């Protein structure tokens, strides 16, 4: 007999060799029906795999991320099986589960193109295999047998992967006539999958190397209920409407130019205004938390990034060094701001009385992303980080962590990101040699993060082994209005850079000490954050943030002059306004400006011009009647002040 411990700490005894599915059945018939995989001592396994020893066990369902992963991983194999039937000779690369669904990289053969019109046939074949209730069987094989099997099938991509594996670690999964190289885990059989959809096809270089063959990447998604698929497809349609590239063009926020270069956004006046409002908002918060603003160059000597370790990490992803032919110097476009901030700290002798020293910068950095990976503002080659680096004593880490969390919560709340999760990434206790810094400092930093989360009442998922080699960190994953997860805020503790740059401060004992460095970026990057914000709000920004807060609509050309007087007056109140003086009917003007998501429309005609008034219409069709222009301006200022001051106290 073996002892099985469940998440609620209860313990049951079972015969050795029992499976996760049998354990689920012993608890309840419903649990067995909902079970997708099983966690055994933290390892996700197939439900049908025997458990041989005492273990901590959790039955994983659709609600669990690991359950979804097994479901969608099995679905990737199901799609591959269908492709094998429909495209004889097709070769397979990799087919992982991803956050929403799965994909498979395939080589369909020379001259063969898988198009959107082919998707229904693929889906039909997948449904046939689902109806057949094919068992999904796991088998351990030797490296030589695996090489022979996939070589005989001319699966050169699989052979390449097997060549890199150690003998004794190779497993395959088989369903019907399809066998794949895979670690798993998978569902017991294909009938668990109820609703399927092939979503899209794209090009993808083998192993992300543009010098290697370009494969076809097919994306798909599946669900245990058709209703869930229908709801997801509606969500996708809404996501298309909210695409930041589409809205950014409609609202004239940003653009890209092939002449300037791929992945280098050009911020238009309205987009720049949006960015500046976000920057001013964060600067106002930072002033209250005693941050000091700094500015550093866009380039730095190559040796700076060699010292910091960024050249070793990002060298391949950096733009090629800039050479000065006469001096023989080498410069890089900076991939990170932190080495520059280390040099600012190092510029003067520092005392413990100056710590914590909080340096903040909206610093633009550059990474060479491959052209195929660029995507609007979410993946660019030049981006601005809302960066800050806090230099403190080890005893100050917890307090500084709490303050940074306060800043992140203020921003999330102000921008209506109310649904978020946090992850604490700690070092692997069984592999401490891969991390730098003393055990004492690591324990102090890790405990500080855990205690800070506890004090804030923040339920954070703890992941062992996910810490950076230089220190533990806390990441925030935000869900937008469509339920999609984005990583935005991050706080990282760093023992590496202070060591590499030999940073020191004089302590109360008059001895030299090494400071701890905290990296902090609530937005992450301005580009990516704006993209997420656009899609979260569908371009309907809060009044304090809107690039244009009011548009004045004269009912005819006779009142254009008064309309411009209104804008001139509003600008004196620092209200962002413009005139729509097109020779169009007022109904058309109202409709067009509603589509531009302008918070307030001010309609002016003979009565308004005579009385120095404006007829106010709020976004969404709420007519508020005519008011004196000065009263409207004061109301707007009060509304903005209330919005901002309620967040920044």
pLDDT average, residue stretch 137-149: 93
- Annotated active-site residue in 12, 283, 367, 456: 367
Residue 256 lies in a domain: no
- Annotated active-site residue in 175, 286, 385, 549: 385
The distance between the two most distant Cα atoms of the chain, rounded to a whole number of Å, is 93
Q: Which residue has the higher pLDDT, 495 or 630?
A: 630
- Assess whether 501 and 622 both reside in one domain: no
pLDDT average, residue stretch 315-336: 82
Q: DSSP 3-state assignment of 173?
A: strand
- Assess whether 385 and 291 both reside in one domain: yes
pLDDT of the residue at 180: 95
Grade residue 489 by pLDDT with cuts at 50, 70 and 90: confident
Q: Which residue has the higher pLDDT, 636 or 621?
A: 636
- Assess whether 574 and 457 both reside in one domain: no
Q: Of the residues 61, 80, 100, which one is the last residue of a structural domain?
A: 61
Residue 571 lies in a domain: yes
Residue 236 lies in a domain: yes
Look up 389 and say whether it is catalytic: yes
- Assess whether 416 and 528 both reside in one domain: yes
Residue 372 lies in a domain: yes
Tell me how many degrees the CA angle 165-166-167 measures, rounded to the nearest 5: 120
Look up 124 and say whether it is catalytic: no
Residue 464 lies in a domain: yes
Look up 338 and say whether it is catalytic: yes
pLDDT of the residue at 324: 81
Residue 258 lies in a domain: no
- Assess whether 437 and 356 both reside in one domain: yes
pLDDT average, residue stretch 174-188: 95
- Assess whether 326 and 341 both reside in one domain: no
- Assess whether 133 and 160 both reside in one domain: yes
Q: What is the pLDDT of residues 590-629, one digit of tens each?
A: 999 999 999 999 999 999 999 999 999 998 877 889 999 9
Q: Of the residues 37, 61, 85, which one is the last residue of a structural domain?
A: 61
- Assess whether 126 and 170 both reside in one domain: yes
Lowest mean pLDDT among 75-89, 169-183, 479-493: 479-493
Grade residue 647 by pLDDT with cuts at 50, 70 and 90: low
Look up 514 and say whether it is catalytic: no
- Assess whether 472 and 356 both reside in one domain: yes
Grade residue 646 by pLDDT with cuts at 50, 70 and 90: low
Residue 605 lies in a domain: yes
- Assess whether 360 and 434 both reside in one domain: yes
- Percent of the chain beyond pLDDT 70? 99
- Annotated active-site residue in 242, 302, 389, 520: 389
- Domain hosting 10: range is 2-61
Assign 3-class secondary structure to 452-497.
HHHHCCCCEEEEECCCECCECEEEEEEECCCCCEEEEEEEEEECHH
The length of the chain in residues reads 649
- Annotated active-site residue in 107, 387, 475, 480: 387
Look up 485 and say whether it is catalytic: no
- Annotated active-site residue in 182, 338, 342, 453: 338
Dihedral, CA of residue 493, residue 497, residue 499 and residue 505, to nearest 10: -80
Residue 627 lies in a domain: yes
- Assess whether 616 and 641 both reside in one domain: yes
pLDDT of the residue at 294: 97
Q: Is the pLDDT of residue 320 over 80?
A: no
Q: What is the pLDDT of residues 347-383, one digit of tens each?
A: 999 999 999 999 999 999 998 887 777 899 999 999 9
With beta carbons less than 8 A apart as the criterion, state whether 179 and 212 touch: no
Look up 367 and say whether it is catalytic: yes
Look up 536 and say whether it is catalytic: no
Q: Looking at residue 131, which CATH number applies to its domain?
A: 3.30.980.10
Q: Of the residues 485, 516, 537, which one is the last residue of a structural domain?
A: 537
Grade residue 319 by pLDDT with cuts at 50, 70 and 90: confident
Grade residue 39 by pLDDT with cuts at 50, 70 and 90: very high
Closest CA to 333 of 349, 345, 342, 322: 322
- Assess whether 382 and 508 both reside in one domain: yes
- Annotated active-site residue in 341, 519, 520, 589: 519
Q: Looking at residue 380, which CATH number applies to its domain?
A: 3.30.930.10
Number of domains present in the structure of the chain: 5
Q: Looking at residue 583, which CATH number applies to its domain?
A: 3.40.50.800
């Amino acid at each position: 007999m073996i002892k099985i411990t469940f998440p609620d700490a209860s313990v049951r005894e079972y015969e050795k060799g029992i499976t996760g599915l049998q354990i689920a059945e012993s608890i309840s018939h419903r649990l067995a029906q909902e079970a997708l995989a099983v966690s055994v001592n933290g390892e996700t396994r197939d439900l049908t795999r025997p458990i041989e020893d005492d273990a901590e066990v959790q039955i994983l369902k659709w609600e669990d991320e690991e359950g979804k992963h097994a479901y969608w991983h099995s679905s990737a194999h199901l799609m591959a099986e269908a492709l094998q039937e429909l495209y004889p000779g097709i070769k397979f690369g990799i087919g992982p589960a991803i956050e929403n669904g799965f994909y498979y990289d395939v080589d369909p053969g020379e001259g063969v193109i898988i198009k959107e019109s082919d998707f229904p046939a693929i889906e039909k074949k997948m449904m046939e295999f689902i109806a057949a209730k094919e068992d999904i069987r796991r088998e351990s094989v030797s490296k030589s047998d695996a090489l022979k099997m996939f070589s005989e099938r001319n699966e050169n991509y699989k052979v390449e992967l097997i060549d890199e594996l150690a003998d004794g670690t190779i497993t395959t999964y088989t369903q019907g006539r399809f066998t794949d190289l895979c670690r798993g885990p998978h569902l017991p059989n294909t009938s668990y999958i109820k609703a399927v959809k092939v979503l899209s096809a794209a090009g993808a270089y083998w192993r992300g190397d543009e010098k290697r063959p370009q494969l076809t990447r097919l994306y798909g998604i599946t669900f245990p209920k058709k209703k869930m698929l229908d709801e997801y497809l509606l969500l996708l349609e809404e996501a298309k409407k909210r695409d930041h590239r589409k809205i950014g063009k409609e609202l004239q926020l940003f653009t890209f130019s092939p002449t300037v270069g791929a992945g280098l956004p050009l911020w238009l006046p309205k987009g720049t205004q949006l960015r500046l409002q976000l920057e001013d908002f964060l600067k106002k918060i930072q002033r209250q938390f005693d941050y000091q603003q700094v500015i550093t160059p866009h380039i730095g000597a190559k040796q700076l990034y060699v010292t910091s370790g960024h050249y070793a990490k990002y060298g391949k992803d950096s733009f090629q060094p800039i050479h000065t032919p006469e001096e023989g110097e080498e410069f890089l476009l900076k991939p990170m701001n932190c080495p520059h901030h280390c040099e600012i700290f190092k510029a003067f002798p520092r005392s413990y009385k100056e710590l914590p020293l909080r340096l903040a910068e909206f610093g633009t950095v550059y990474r060479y992303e491959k052209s195929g990976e660029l995507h609007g503002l979410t993946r660019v080659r030049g981006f601005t980080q809302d960066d800050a680096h806090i230099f403190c004593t080890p005893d100050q880490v917890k307090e500084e962590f709490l303050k940074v969390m306060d800043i992140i919560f203020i921003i999330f709340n102000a921008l209506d990101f109310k649904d978020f999760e946090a992850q604490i990434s700690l070092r692997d206790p069984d592999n401490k040699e891969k991390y730098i810094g003393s055990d004492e400092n690591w324990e102090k930093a890790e405990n500080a993060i855990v205690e800070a989360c506890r004090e804030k009442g923040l339920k954070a998922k703890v992941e062992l082994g996910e810490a950076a080699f230089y220190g533990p960190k806390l990441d925030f994953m935000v869900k937008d209005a469509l339920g999609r997860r984005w990583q935005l805020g991050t706080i990282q503790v760093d023992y590496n850079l202070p060591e590499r740059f030999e940073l020191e401060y004089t302590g109360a004992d008059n001895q030299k000490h090494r400071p701890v460095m905290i990296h902090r970026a609530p937005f992450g990057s301005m580009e990516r954050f704006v993209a997420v914000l656009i899609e979260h709000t569908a371009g309907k920004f809060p009044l304090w943030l809107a690039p244009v807060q009011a548009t004045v609509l004269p009912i005819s050309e006779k009142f254009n002059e008064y309309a411009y007087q209104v804008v001139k007056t509003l600008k004196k109140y620092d209200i962002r306004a413009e005139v729509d003086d097109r020779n169009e009917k007022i109904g058309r003007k109202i409709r067009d400006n509603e589509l531009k998501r302008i918070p307030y429309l001010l309609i002016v005609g003979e009565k308004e011009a005579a009385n120095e008034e404006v007829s106010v219409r709020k976004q969404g069709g709420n007519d508020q009647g005519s008011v004196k222009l000065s009263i409207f301006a004061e109301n707007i200022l009060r509304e903005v002040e209330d919005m901002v001051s309620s967040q920044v106290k």
